[in-house]
Amino acid sequence: MGSSIVVLLVTIGGCAQYVKEEKKAGATQTHVSLKDADKKEIAMELVSSAENSSLKWRDQYAYIEDIKDGRGYTAGIIGFCSGTGDMLTLVQTYTKAEADNVLAKFLPALEKVNGSESHEGLGAEFEQAWQEAAKDPLFQKAQDEIRDTIYFEPAVEQAEKDGLSPLGQFIYYDAMVMHGPGDGSVPLEESFPGIRESALKQAKAPAEGGEEQVFLTSFLTERGKVMELEEAHEDLSRVVAQRQFLKENNLNLTPPLKWTMYGEFFEITQ
C-alpha cells in the first residue's frame, strides 16, 4: 500500500495548528467540524456573548426586547427579529407543533410588521406571551430548529465547501446570524452571501487554492465594512474577537478561549 499526506490538528500552547503527517493509504483521517457537539457548544456560547452578554445561551429562550436597530423585536437564543421574517417563521413552526399556544394569536400581527420596525399588534402582551412560551420545551425546540436550518447548518456547509476550519465555519455562522442568509430582509450586498462574494473578489477560498488566514482576513474586513453602515452594528467587537482567534492561529477553536465583547471579558476554559 502507498502513503499519503494528510492534514492533522495538534494543540500547541492552547492553539490548534495544522501539521502534515504521512499516513499509510486507507488510514482514517481526522476531521473536525463545527457540527461536532463540543465545537457547536462553543459556537453557541460565542454568539450568546454577543447577542445576550452571557455564555449561558440556554437561558436566552425568553429574551425579548427592541434594541432600536430598525428590526423591531429581537428575541430568543440568536436574536430572531419581528422585522426580518425569522421570528414569524419561528412562531409558525411552533404553532405547527402545538396549535394551542400563547403566541399563535399574534401571527397576523407578525405577518403585518414583517419588514418593518413596528410593534403594531404586539407590545407588552406579546412580550409576556413570548416569555411564557419560552418555558415550553416545544418552543425551545422550535428555536433550536430554526437556528439550525436557517443559519447554522447552511453556514457550516458553505464553509466546508470553501475548505474552512472550525474557526472559519464559526466566522461564517456568526455573520449569517447578524446579516442574514440573503433572503431579502436586507440588501443582498449587506447579507452573508454578499459579504462572502466581496471577500472572494479579494482572496481565494482554501478550496480554490487560497490561504485560509488571508481569505478569512478578507472576509472579516468586508464584514466590518457592512457593519459600519448601521449605527446599531458599528461596534466591531465580534469581528475583533474573531480576528484575535485568527491571529492566535486557533483554527480549531480549542479552549481556553478569551475575548472581549462590547467591553465585557469572556472566557471558555474547556
Q: What's the pLDDT tens digit per position in 88-134?
A: 999 999 999 999 999 999 999 999 999 999 999 999 999 999 999 99
> Active-site residues: which are they?
51, 69
| Ordered domains of the chain (ranges, CATH) | 1-31 (no CATH), 32-268 (1.20.141.10)
Residue 4 above 70 pLDDT?
no
Residue 15 dihedral angles phi and psi, to the nearest 5°: -115, 135
Grid cell locating 79: 436574536
What pLDDT shows up at residue 22?
32
Angle ∠(34,40,43) on CA atoms, nearest 5? 95
Question: Which of 72-81, 154-163, 223-232, 247-256 has the weakest average pLDDT?
Answer: 223-232
The per-residue pLDDT for 30 is 59
Instruction: Judge whether residue 11 has pLDDT over 70.
Output: no
Q: Give the range among 31-35, 148-152, 233-237 with minimum mean pLDDT.
A: 233-237
Distance CA(134)–CA(7), nearest Å, equals: 43
- Specify the pairing of strand 257-261 against strand 264-268: antiparallel
In three-state secondary structure terms, 81 is strand
Return the axis-axis angle of helices 166-179 and 192-202, rounded to nearest 10°: 130
pTM attached to this predicted model: 0.88
Residue 197 has pLDDT above 70, yes or no: yes
Q: Average pLDDT of 167-178?
A: 98
Q: In whole numbers, what is the pLDDT of the chain averaged over residues? A: 91
Q: Is the pLDDT score of 8 beyond 70?
A: no
Residue 76: band (very low, low, confident or very high) from pLDDT cuts 50, 70, 90: very high
171, pLDDT greater than 50: yes
User: Which pLDDT belongs to residue 77?
Assistant: 98
Of residues 186 and 11, more confidently modeled: 186
Which grid coordinates belong to 221?
474586513
Q: Which residues contact 45 (CB under 8 A, 6 or more apart)?
A: 55, 57, 268
- Could you tell me which residue, 59 or 29, shows the higher pLDDT? 59
Check if the beta carbon of residue 195 is closer than 8 Å to that of residue 226. Answer: yes
Tell me phi and psi for residue 267, to 5 degrees: -150, 135
Note the pLDDT of residue 204.
99
Residue carrying the nine cell digits 486507507: 26
Question: Which residues, 6+ apart, have CB-to-CB distance to 118 below 8 Å?
Answer: 72, 83, 112
Work out the average pLDDT over 170-197: 96
pLDDT tier for residue 233 given thresholds of 50, 70 and 90: confident
36 three-state secondary structure: coil
Q: What is the pLDDT of residues 203-220, one digit of tens each?
A: 999 999 999 999 999 999
Contact 29, 6 (CB under 8 A): yes
How many CB atoms sit inside 10 A of residue 270's CB? 7
